[in-house]
Structure 1
């Protein structure tokens, strides 16, 4: 009946159980965490607000961050080993990628070199400076 004593909710109250599907916590492969130590510190901060499951999405950009399944997989393995070493077994990290729609994107699609979220959703980004030349064609594929 009376709601004057109801606890005020904050954003952090809604984060428990959330899966972070866009982050740069994998160490040393893009503009995110520089090393495993920084990755662990970032994850600890997220865990404090209730986030324990992550899908890491490092950049794949042809000229700047030429990541692929191998580089991302190796970085993911290093991070997961560090989580075990630090007794952070309540944390789950898997990987996908944030794909730049650039001159190399369509080729990666054709040869199966993309890393989708849950096997069929691709996280993409476009240039902030100009429209992607092949955006319409790339999205159709």
Structure 2
């Protein structure tokens, strides 16, 4: 790793304050394969993430409440649709302050989600290209 760039407004141990994002600059180029491919970052002027878009979260966090990822600690992934922030706020019954710089993904019925240890990990969405 050459450099870690953490968002200037991020406060450690206060992820609900927002800005839980960072970029890693690698010291060497990556060799792409059928398992490793690039993703496009959101536009600086504010790509809109549309409710219902298919996204994937990945991480090495817990696999259930209080259950650590067992050896060999294989990277986990889960498909999650984008949820509108108003719907998200309602789902959490205003327990969390979902801010405009935040986004929600998941299912109203639950059962599929990220877990403790996945915070700050990537959420990759399949954006439909405009011709």
TM above 0.5, yes or no, is no
> Which one has a larger percent helix, Structure 1 or Structure 2?
1
TM range (shorter): under 0.3
Flag the structure with more relative contact order, 1 or 2, with Cα contacts below 8 A and sequence separation at least 6. 2
Instruction: Give TM-score, length-normalised by structure 2.
Output: 0.21
